[in-house]
Chains A and B, each alone.
Chain A
Amino acid sequence: MELTVRIGRATLAGLAYLGGLARLGLRAAYYAFVAPFRGKPMRFQRAVHQSMAVGVEALPILSLISFFIGVILALQGAYELRKFGALNYVSSAVAISMTRELGPLITAIVVIGRSGSAFAAEIGTMKVTEEIDALETMALDPVQFLVMPKFLAMALMLPCLTTWADSMGVFGGALFGVAGAGFTFRGYLLSTFDALQLRDITTGLIKSIVFGGTITAVGCYEGFRTGAGPEQVGRSTTSAVVASIFLVIAVDLVFTAMFYVLGRG
């Protein structure tokens, strides 16, 4: 009895959480795509500012991580492929796993760590210092003012970052290809292009846009849920990261399964 009650409560809480995220996401989408046509400001400048923070400033760390992942993938792939004398398939193994899966996922995880947590901390601090209240009493909607630019920036930047991560991963694979599998650099790239199909890249990019929406919604939602007191900001930041990682992987599963069933996989 006790157990079923607990499961029921947890399920309800989970559903309420998802509902909250969806509502926040929809309101931000309304302000981003519908309200500008009704004479409300677009806050383009804020979105550009956010894009710099979310996108451009993430490039160095993302480049390094995806390059390493590319090398690791090539090494792991070669371990198995060598048994079949199929070392020249390393390039396609790296290319396909990078573009379809690891590029979007690694990008999402780096962005969660850098920006998802920052969103929660920023909005959480503003909640604690009554800045959110101040916005509301100035008749400014915090969702329009704070969340919408973040959504725009994420929806724009995650596909860009993912494309960048994909190519850095391929370069990482090329390092092993040239050093350990007898490829020339040009030959490795050519064989990568041969292996890749456009849909490998597009499915990855579609996923990355959805990841971007998820990370923003969770980060901002956790920020708004911050209770009274500065220590609550830390709690919000932690739950934003944990919930984002979980939800991004869950969304990844749903979309991968969907692409598979739709025959696009």
Chain B
Amino acid sequence: MNEQIPPRNAAPGLEPETVISVRDLRVQFGDREVLHGIDLDVGRGETLVILGGSGSGKSTLLRVLVGLQEPSGGHIHIRDVDLCRATPAELAAYRKTLGISFQGGALFNSMTVAENVALPLREHTSLEESTIQIMVRLKLEEVGLAGFEDYFPSQLSGGMRKRAAVARALAMDPEILFFDEPSAGLDPIIAAGIDQLILRLKEAFHMTVIVVTHELASAFLIADRMVLIEKGNIIASGPPAEFQASTHPRVRQFLDRVAEPEIEDELDYLQLLTETLGAGRRPRGSKVR
């Protein structure tokens, strides 16, 4: 299935194809900078997978791209708007063109599946109720949840919740579709089903899809291009085949799932602990002076 779509190359030479262009993006939490000058281009119709370990900054990057986190510097150009300097109206207009499937689904628990999918349509369009009902049914069929309209999210399994969330993300026919850890917390079979769904959507609607994940199998299946983020920097970028053949030591470590060497020196360990707990604070019970 994957082979039918030629991987797109979003190199600077293909500028007109670019939907999202990120330049020198920086994000700071207090004194700590978590993204150090990210440069990234996403082409139209491309499926970009952002890989990275826990705490690498990949989720922060996603949050910035959808306007949930304010960057401390840089530019994000989407069409003619710079997201970093967008007015509330421009931000709202941008958000109406994107769909997001959150890690846990983030369905509204007080609403049925159908009401969840219908919510953006009811809020942002003046469509007739009957038209909305038809659209909701179509979107649910698209993700294989036809017949579950009147279920509440709590009555669905994890995989079904994620599918319902995708249906809601599709409601407004978005130009860009974001996935945050699409296979987190799902068994391999259900996770594979979600991968197939992403591939099908990509083929059917030619959407730009941005996926944040650390699942390698899933990433290699769906990606046209991958980037690996580590400690707030993009350390590698390229199509899956190129990635697979990479000799970059950190890329190899990530792909071959090599554990970090164990820390043997007690002082190193304490220092690491101190850094994790916050600067200047020593772990409780530490005897190091």
Binding site for B on A (CB under 8 A): 41, 126, 129-131, 133-134, 136-140
Contact = CB atoms under 8 A, between A and B. Distances in A.
5 contacts: A129-B109, A134-B102, A134-B107, A136-B67, A136-B68
B127 interface: no
Contact of B95 (A126, A129, A130, A139): A139
Nearest to A41: B123
Interface in B242-267: none
B96 A129 contact: no
Nearest to A133: B68
Contacts of B64: none
Q: How large is the interface on B (under 10, 10 to 19, 20 to 34, 35 or more residues)?
A: 20 to 34
Nearest to B102: A130
A6 B66 CA distance: 39
A133 B102 contact: yes
Contacts of A139: 91-93, 95-96, 123-124
B interface majority secondary structure: mixed
Contact of B108 (A131, A133, A136, A137): A131
B229 interface: no
Nearest to A132: B106
A36 to B, nearest CB: 15
Contacts of A41: 123
A43 to B, nearest CB: 10
Interface of B: 63, 66-68, 91-93, 95-96, 98, 100, 102-104, 106-109, 119-120, 123-124
A90 to B, nearest CB: 47
Contacts of B66: 137
Given A129-B106, A139-B92, A139-B95, A134 B123 contact: no
B100 A137 contact: yes
A137 B123 contact: no
A139 B119 CA distance: 11
Contacts of B63: 133
Contacts of A131: 106-109
B104 A134 contact: no
B103 A138 contact: no
Contact of A129 (B92, B104, B124): B104
B161 to A, nearest CB: 11
Contacts of A140: 119-120, 123
B64 to A, nearest CB: 12
The 4 closest A-B pairs by CB, nearest first: A130-B106, A134-B106, A139-B95, A139-B92
A137 B95 contact: yes
B211 to A, nearest CB: 16
